[in-house]
Amino acid sequence: MPLRRLTRLCTTALLAGSLLATAACGVSGSEGEASDEQPERTGKVSGQITFRTLQLKPTFTDYIQGVITAFEKKHRDVKVKWEDVPGEGYNEKLVADAQAGQLPDVINLNTDSFQLLADRGRLADIAALDPEAKGDFIPGAWDQYRLPGKKGVFAYPWYVTPEILTFNKKLYAEAGLDEDKPPATVEEYFDQAEQIARTSGGQVAAFMADPQGRLPGDWQKMGVPILNAKGDAFTFNTAKAVEWAERMRDLYQQGAMPKESLTGSQDINQLYGSGKLVFGPGSPGFIKDIKDNAPKIYAQTAVGEAITGKLGHIGIYTQSLGVRRDTKHPDAALEFAKWVTNGPNQVAFSKKATIYPSNAKGLDDPYFSDKGDGTDPETMARVIGAEELRDAQLDANTPVQWTNQVGDAVNREMHKAIKGDREPAEAVKRAEDAANKILATQQKQQKQQQKQ
Amino acid sequence: MEAEHGLVHRRWWTPYLFLLPGLGMVLTFSLWPFVNTIILSMTDAQILRGGTFTGLDNYVRALDDPAFWTALFNSVLYTAVVVPAVVLLPLALAVLVERKVPGIGFFRSAFYTPVIASAVVVGLMWQWLLRSDGLINTVLGRLQLISEPLPFLTDSTLLLFSAMIVTVWKGLGYYMVFYLAALGNVPRSLHEAAAIDGAGAVRRFFHVTIPSVKPMMLLVGTLSAISALRVFTEIYILGGESGGPGGDSRTLPFLIREVGLGFAGETGYAAAISILLFLLTLVFSLLGHRLSKGDER
């Protein structure tokens, strides 16, 4: 075969494959919405159930296996099949399994996957099937597993991380700030960032510029109403939200934030760990990471209470255990989920990882109130986090209507405002218009689906 | 005779039996997802929520969506810049490393190294180079060529061009191997005859080498066009999850992912954009095919 014909043949074959792959990328079909009918309990705890966790192997293999073994010993007729899935693509795998009718009986859910599966009627109503469970959990965690417009609670809260404040006290002092007076409001946070930018001469930054993890939390803490009372329209286009964008723009220009941190392409742990950032992430888990990877910076780290501002709430991020709505063994699945999330098991887990129990009894363990000598950041993060959790109200961070599409649309406009490419007032207005357009489309689709 | 007839009778379907496993794979993993995407693109389906038939609504919506036009423009610009570079630079590189001189293997391997490096590693490495406090800005600053760091990663246009540089750099070694194979097939006698006629190295390159590897250039052009239209990783790593500041550096695959994933992921609309991307890719492919055919004549 002549070379040219061979080349053409190869081209055609390669093209066909590439084109088909292009057209099919990332998209899959979807089946009809499941009904809201709940499983019936029989009182017989038996059968083989599957339990899926999110990236807990190999670090916590012994702990999880121990919990499973103890459960199987207590309930001889139950066999638990444990599978652990990496974090990358976890939600996509759950969606694929849900489409194929292959969801596990007990599923570890993060906020996104919980909302997705609960909204589509794939999870059992825990409150209906296990009415006494409510009393076991801290209210802030339990209430996270409700959905607007739906009656019921669709998962057992599992481990929790509350929002805290972490900062480099050495850099803080060098900026002329008092480590005993960390910011309590967003406005104070911005004031301090301005002082850091002014005094450091561009050598250190105060915090990251990317608005993605900060909104709508910052706005809520500033008293900006995110939604109207009915929850069917965004109302954040206010003077306060514009003030937020203006201050972010000014701080960005002054060098209070690393330039490339605007798009979230820089690693905050790496920046903080190299002593180039004053405020670290507001998560206790980060403290351990700094302790392991940057001991010098760990020694300079101080921990404070989360910024609450006018909202008065703290943000909490929870993991949960959902039960597949059409499980063949509802009693075994519910009892197992309840077992994993009980007080003693959650406390034991918290002692192995930087997490907190969502179980109210678990939080009473002395482990969470022992301050030691009051200087170790990891110990202080644990104590402060636990104190906050006892009073935690609803998650301050993200209403269900603030979907990732809404967040992306708002972020895009705020990027432009922060960079100085668009007037902050115009950017906030455009952000609200875009968010309302997305919300209206979603509500229209939901209504159409409900009619069918 | 009967036995022979039986043997013949069995024979007609035997080949099809061997084809079945492969055919099943192709139907399941290639053709069905493709057909399903076309069907899905005409519905208002969301993730885990079956949609209703909406005809061409999603296509009309895309044509009215500024984000789609921005992404389309970026994808076409990306292709228009990357393809000529990827067709020509690896050829020049192949000509340089084709000669059998001591130590040339080292250079061949070195040029190929970026190809086997993970896209994430490559992206992070370039991020460190291109940051405002990165190596490139630092060197330019020290040489007093710039007074302010160049915003390679925070300016939408510069970000797009930075990603193009990464794509070209990563593709150099890959396509160099294609050209090395093609150069190996150019008859030495042609070069010798041209040399006898008094043609220098440059003339021989344009009048002997280029015509001989033209089919390969068309193949490289078509393949790199398809890759450029599907670019995602470089922009994601350099510009973050938002697709650069304000999302202005998003390409079509970026938009498909953004629209289709997440709690409110609109699979129907994402499928429609996928089909539009498919059509765009088809245009580039047919163009390559046409050029290839014209060349044969």
From CA A21, how far away is CA A34, in angstroms rounded? 30
Q: What pLDDT does residue A281 have? A: 85
Q: What is the share, in percent, of chain B residues with pLDDT greater than 90?
A: 49
The reported pLDDT for the residue numbered A36 is 59
pLDDT band, residue A186 (cuts 50/70/90):
very high
pLDDT of residue A3: 45
Contact residues for A195 (Cβ-Cβ < 8 A; gap 6+): A175, A176, A177
Mind listing the pLDDT tens digit for each residue in B223-265?
999 999 999 989 998 988 888 899 899 999 999 998 988 777 8
Distance from CA of B177 to the nearest CA of A (A): 15
Q: What is the pLDDT of residue B1?
A: 47
Residues 131-160 of chain B with CB under 8 A from chain A are 131-132, 149, 151, 153-154
Three-state secondary structure readout of chain B: CHHHHHHHHHHCCHHHHHHHHHHHHHHHHHHHHHHHHHHHCCECCECCECCCECCCHHHHHHHCCHHHHHHHHHHHHHHHHHHHHHHHHHHHHHHHHHCCCCCHHHHHHHHHHHHHCCHHHHHHHHHHHHCCCCHHHHHHHHCCCCCCCCCCCCCHHHHHHHHHHHHHHHHHHHHHHHHHHHHHCCCHHHHHHHHHCCCCHHHHHHHHHHHHHHHHHHHHHHHHHHHHHCCCHHHHHHHCCCCCHHHCCCCHHHHHHHHHCCCCCCHHHHHHHHHHHHHHHHHHHHHHHHHHHHHHC
| pLDDT reading at A14 higher than 60 | no
Q: Do the Cβ atoms of B275 and B33 come closer than 8 Å? A: no
| Identity of the residue in A22, A115, A260 whose CB atom sits nearest the CB atom of B277 | A22
Rounded CA gap, A333 and B250, in Å?
A: 43
8 A C-beta contact, residue A77 and residue A47: yes
Query: Is A28's CB within 8 Å of B33's CB?
Result: yes
The Cα of A380 is separated from the nearest Cα of chain B by a number of Å equal to 33
Backbone dihedral angles phi then psi of residue A130, each to the nearest 5 degrees: -140, 70
Q: What is the 3-state secondary structure (H, E, C) of A44-90?
A: CCCEEEEEEEECCCCCCHHHHHHHHHHHHHHCCCEEEEEEEECCCCH
Q: Looking at the complex, does the CB of residue A443 fall below 8 Å from at least one CB of chain B?
A: no
Indicate whether A30 pLDDT > 50: no
pLDDT tens digits along B258-290: 898 877 788 999 999 999 999 999 998 888 888
Q: What is the pLDDT of residue B74?
A: 95
pLDDT at B253: 95
pLDDT number for residue B297: 57
Say how many CB pairs under 8 Å bridge A and B: 208
Return the higher-pLDDT residue of A21 and A352.
Answer: A352
Q: Which residues pair with A137 in a beta bridge?
A: A359
Residue B80 is encoded by which pair of tokens? 């228009």
Contact with chain A for residue B203, Cβ under 8 A: no
CB spacing of B40 vs A29 below 8 angstroms:
yes
The string of DSSP letters for A334-391 reads HHHHHHHTSHHHHHHHHTTSS-EESBHHHHTSGGGT--TTS--HHHHHHHHHHHHHHT
CB contact under 8 A, A419 and B154: yes
Work out the average pLDDT over A69-85: 95
Q: In what order do the strands lie in the sheet with A47-54?
A: A78-85, A47-54, A106-109, A316-323, A156-162, A356-357
Q: What is the pLDDT of residues A369-410, one digit of tens each?
A: 888 888 888 888 888 888 888 776 645 456 778 888 899 999
Q: Return the minimum-mean-pLDDT range out of A103-112, A126-135, A291-300, B194-203.
A: B194-203
Judge: A263–B153 Cβ closer than 8 Å, yes or no: yes
| Band of residue A20 on the pLDDT scale cut at 50, 70, 90 | very low
Mean pLDDT of B185-203: 80
Residue A23's pLDDT is 44
Residues of A in contact with B263 (CB under 8 A): 112, 115-116, 119, 403-404
Contact A413 B52 (CB under 8 A): no
The residues in A 160-199 lying below 8 A from B, measured between CB atoms, are none
Which pLDDT does position B213 carry in this prediction? 87
Query: Which pTM does this prediction carry?
Result: 0.84
Q: What is the pLDDT of residues B139-192, one digit of tens each?
A: 999 998 988 889 999 898 999 999 999 999 999 999 999 999 988 888 888 877
- What is the model's pLDDT at position A35? 53
Percent of chain A with pLDDT over 70: 89
**Least confident piece of the model among A136-145, B9-18, B22-31, B147-156:** B9-18
Interface test with A, best of B34, B40, B47, B160 (most A CBs within 10 A): B47
Q: What is the pLDDT of residue A229?
A: 86
Q: Mind listing the pLDDT tens digit for each residue in B74-92?
A: 999 999 999 999 999 999 9
**CA angle B267-B272-B273, nearest 5°?**
100
Task: Determine whether the interchain pair B246/A115 forms a contact, defined as Cβ–Cβ distance below 8 Å.
Answer: no
CA distance A171 to A272: 11
Q: Taking all residues of chain A, what is their mean pLDDT, rounded to a whole number?
A: 85
pLDDT of res. B274 = 96
A241 falls in which pLDDT band (50, 70, 90)? very high
Q: What is the mean pLDDT of chain B?
A: 88
Token pair 């250190």: residue: A204
Q: Where do we find the tokens 């969470």?
A: A368
Instruction: For residue A307, give both structure tokens.
Output: 């910024």
Tell me the H-state helices in A227-359.
239-254, 268-273, 284-293, 295-299, 330-340, 343-350
Q: Decide: A346 and A362 in contact? Cβ < 8 Å.
A: yes
Q: What is the mean pLDDT of residues A92-96?
A: 88
Average pLDDT for A49-64:
94
